[in-house]
Amino acid sequence: MEQKEIQVQPVDLKKLTEKPTLFTGGHRACAGCGMTIMARQVLLAASDNPVVVGCATGCLEVTTTIYPYTAWNVPFIHNAFENAAATVSGVETAFRALKKKGRIPPDKKINFITFGGDGGTYDIGIQSLSGAMERGHRMLYICYDNGAYMNTGIQRSGATPRGAHTTTCPVGTIVPGKPQKRKDLAAIMSAHNIPYVATASPHQPRDLMKKVRKALAVDGPSFMLVFSPCRLGWAFPPEQAMELSREAVSSGFWPLYEVEYGKLIINEPSKDANLAPIKPWLEKQGRFKHLFQKGNEGLLNQIQEDINHEWESLKKRTTM
């Protein structure tokens, strides 16, 4: 892949607050939910052009579109769990076809954005997502990752971290939470050789919105994986959502990085930084409280070793 540098305008938060609100308040998401903070930031960053949103079944769809109300001031398409990427790729194709027929001005631009949770992205929707990325549609797919199927009862997903309690891998005398590591979805998307892949977190709005602008600027598909604290599934006080986001990054559980035309750049922590220990982050969440009972010391150590190994592997992939 030819390496290029994606140039975008800096994020001016004051000017963005003066723009029309494309994602409104009054939705029914939980207090302290990272998902809706993320959605507002994304649409602020994308508002330079008209926006069309597709959304898989999940928390974001359910809490923002309960009939007859909607939090979306943009065209919005609700899909099943598995086909949001396929649907929006079809809409993007129709847009290009109408341009060719002269029914839409050739200089008209629309930002096509798809949202899916980790259940509808890591697992159920990965086939349609992979197909859309491989075909090269000009669209941004954003996965808000809260680490389980939160909308349907907190079942484990491919994004659930090792050791976490869920309703389908409950803590008991035999199994201390989910026994497997989570899937590295950003690396899977990078392997599709698409122009842009990035991780982000709502506690860093400038970084997140700059990455949205980069993703929408490329001539082809792009993918973002966004950290999304879930007060209900993780069991933490709602006012701690952004604190948990910060600690997830500083501990290396959720490093912020981007891959531009194959070139990987780590944003935070810095490559030379010493990672904060993961234990204080785990202690703040009820889904991990069993890890601090006698006999689970080995699992705690394993989680820290996993993070250290993944961090070293990520640094080896960087090209600057």
Q: What strands, in cross-sheet order, belong to the sheet with 256-260?
A: 76-79, 51-56, 111-117, 140-145, 222-227, 196-200, 256-260, 263-268
Q: How high is the pLDDT of residue 174?
A: 87
- Is the pLDDT at 3 greater than 90? The verdict is no
What are the structural domains of the chain? 13-317 (3.40.50.970)
- Is the pLDDT at 17 greater than 90? The verdict is no
Q: Which candidate, 258, 260, 280, places its Cα nearest to that of 268?
A: 258
Q: How high is the pLDDT of residue 80?
A: 92
Structure tokens at 195: 């122009």
Q: Which amino acid is at 246?
A: R
Residue 64, classified by CB atoms within 10 Å of its CB into exposed (0-12), middle (13-18) or buried (19+), is buried
pLDDT category of residue 319 using cuts at 50, 70 and 90: low
The CA distance from 261 to 275, in Å, is: 27
Q: How high is the pLDDT of residue 2?
A: 65
pLDDT category of residue 173 using cuts at 50, 70 and 90: confident
Q: How high is the pLDDT of residue 1?
A: 63
* Mean pLDDT within 165-169: 97
Could you give the count of Cα atoms lying within 13 Å of 27 in the half-sphere of its Cβ? 25
The DSSP code for 4 is: -
The CA distance from 233 to 148, in Å, is: 8
Lowest-confidence range among 15-19, 159-163, 213-217? 15-19
